[in-house]
Amino acid sequence: MTTDVINDQSEHDSHDGEHHDHKMTGLKRWLYTTNHKDIGSMYLWFSFIMFLTGGVMALVIRAELFQPGLQIIEPDFFNQMTTVHGLIMVFGAIMPAFTGLANWMLPMMVGAPDMALPRLNNWSFWILPFAFAILLSSFFMESGAPNFGWTFYAPLSTTYSNGSTAFFVFAVHIMGISSIMGAINIVVTIMNMRAPGMTYMKMPLFVWTFFITAYLLIAVMPVLAGTVTMVLTDTYFGTSFFDAAGGGDPVMFQHIFWFFGHPEVYIMILPAFGIVSTTIPAFSRKKLFGYSSMVYATASIAFLSFIVWAHHMFTTGMPLFGELFFMYCTMLIAVPTGVKVFNWAATMWRGSISFETPMLFSIAFVILFTIGGFSGLMLAMTPVDFQYHDTYFVVAHFHYVLVTGALFSIFAGAYYWLPKWTGYMYNDTLSKWHFWCSLISVNLLFFPMHFLGLAGMPRRIPDYALQFADFNKWVSIGGFAFGLSQLIFLVLVIKCVKGGEKAPAKPWDGAEGLEWTVPSPAPYHTFETPPKID
């Protein structure tokens, strides 16, 4: 009798839920949604809008640097551009894009009906637009936007900052809260909602990389919160954490900031490894080479990322032992990263490769990210870092890692899953145009920066000596070409969402979009001599 009542009640609840969902349309649906796919889509659209916003700021920077002399903007506004460009690209474009991919794909990959904490998921997204509204609103204030660089070193962000420091701190706090909530959601979903039989070592590598990234976020975001709070109290409440006159230490700021900042760099690249480890096996028609070594390599990178922070600080005058320790630890990170690159190459080796757009972006990722890794090894060497530090060589290094690394992997993932998300195939011609325009222009944009840096051009300056003029002209042309190339992607996505050719159940011909192992039989791929075929 009781069971019947319970069944009736649950049936009534489910009908009520359906009716309630049916009523929510338009804006209300997006405001109140707890569906992981909806929230994933919102994260992805938000990150793309932020990417275009930050991109416009980069174009302002490159327009000013097109030729020597101050011609378009004032030096103070130039500093505001470099600061907000960095903050928007890191916290507004790359990180929300990865969170969007995680929201969309993780529950399906682990066999869960949704994320573990759906309402928290909704909240963690909806506070983001407000954080960036606060940050961007500072452009319209009398004091102007933050102008102390995205790393906000003290005393630039304390003693010498303009009046918008409080808005910057509040915005960063909200971004941090969003990241921590998103990370907790990912950890709880993976630990508690995996399908029966999916042990940890059977999880897709995509899931593993997000799992480890989420732990990094939970560990380091509170450090960032502490840093910005100390900046706030130094600026407005008379403390002197970073003021030598009051017994503080400006170098301590760098230690605390980079203890957050270096794991943050890996927060922005580990998910990229997961995406590429999904797409490369799919388009090579082979299982990923060395699955367990990839898991251990990801975990090693995450662990080592906590003990290398001071390689950003070789020029601050640390003891010789400190320099040696941070140099060797930084070089050590190259080992697990190298394991990954060789495993991707081994996965492609003798595979039945098809060069669809996601695969093109993935291959470009592997090659260009490796260039970024090599320049990182150069920066790891203490004696040579004295030459490279704060030059355009550093700008070239981290943009190879974050643009041709993180951003290209996001494009690879977006192209790979777009048919799954929309139900339609995207325009293949447009996607190839997007890839080739992006690939050529991004190298024209960032590769000459290596030479500028080696020749001694400092970063974050609105003007420069005449000998750097030719390279800067080409860099700026590359920058505008790369920026305009992204509009092709915008057109392509809008066309794909609106309709077109229906996507088949397995859009990639033998590569099942949601499985990490490829169901089609793998070709012969041992490293021995192949048998003779009569």
Q: Respond yes or no: is residue 438 known to be catalytic.
A: no
- Would you give the DSSP letter of residue 147? -
Q: Respond yes or no: is residue 114 known to be catalytic.
A: yes
Q: Respond yes or no: is residue 390 known to be catalytic.
A: no
Q: Respond yes or no: is residue 459 known to be catalytic.
A: yes
Residue 133 near residue 127 (C-beta atoms within 8 A): no
Q: Of the listed 311, 397, 450, 525, which one is catalytic?
A: 311
Q: Of the listed 157, 179, 189, 330, which one is catalytic?
A: 179
- Would you give the DSSP letter of residue 92? I
Backbone phi, psi, residue 4, to 5°: -60, -45
Q: Of the listed 37, 287, 420, 459, which one is catalytic?
A: 459
Q: How many CA atoms lie within 13 A of 117 on its CB side?
A: 16
Q: Respond yes or no: is residue 300 known to be catalytic.
A: no
Q: Respond yes or no: is residue 337 known to be catalytic.
A: yes
Q: Respond yes or no: is residue 397 known to be catalytic.
A: no
Q: Respond yes or no: is residue 23 known to be catalytic.
A: no
Q: 3-state DSSP call for residue 118?
A: helix
In whole angstroms, what is the distance from residue 62 CA to residue 464 CA?
13
Q: Of the listed 234, 264, 323, 356, which one is catalytic?
A: 264
188 burial level (CB within 10 Å; 0-12, 13-18, 19+): middle
Q: Of the listed 340, 434, 450, 525, which one is catalytic?
A: 340
Q: Of the listed 158, 277, 284, 438, which one is catalytic?
A: 277
Q: Of the listed 36, 62, 83, 85, which one is catalytic?
A: 85
Q: Respond yes or no: is residue 340 known to be catalytic.
A: yes
- Would you give the DSSP letter of residue 524? P
Q: Respond yes or no: is residue 165 known to be catalytic.
A: no
Q: How many residues does the chain have?
A: 534
In whole angstroms, what is the distance from residue 11 CA to residue 411 CA?
42
Residue 207 near residue 190 (C-beta atoms within 8 A): yes
Q: Of the listed 47, 99, 178, 298, which one is catalytic?
A: 178
Q: Of the listed 114, 243, 512, 515, which one is catalytic?
A: 114
Q: Of the listed 36, 262, 434, 450, which one is catalytic?
A: 262
Q: Respond yes or no: is residue 520 known to be catalytic.
A: no
CA 96-504-203 angle, to 5 degrees, is: 50
Q: Of the listed 36, 194, 285, 312, which one is catalytic?
A: 312
**Which run of H or of E encompasses 436?**
helix 428-454
In whole angstroms, what is the distance from residue 124 CA to residue 130 CA?
11
- Would you give the DSSP letter of residue 424? B
Q: How many CA atoms lie within 13 A of 174 on its CB side?
A: 18
Q: Of the listed 337, 391, 431, 438, which one is catalytic?
A: 337
Q: Of the listed 104, 208, 258, 266, which one is catalytic?
A: 266
Q: Of the listed 45, 126, 150, 215, which one is catalytic?
A: 150
Catalytic residue ranges: 85, 114, 150, 178-179, 262, 264, 266, 277, 311-312, 337, 340, 459
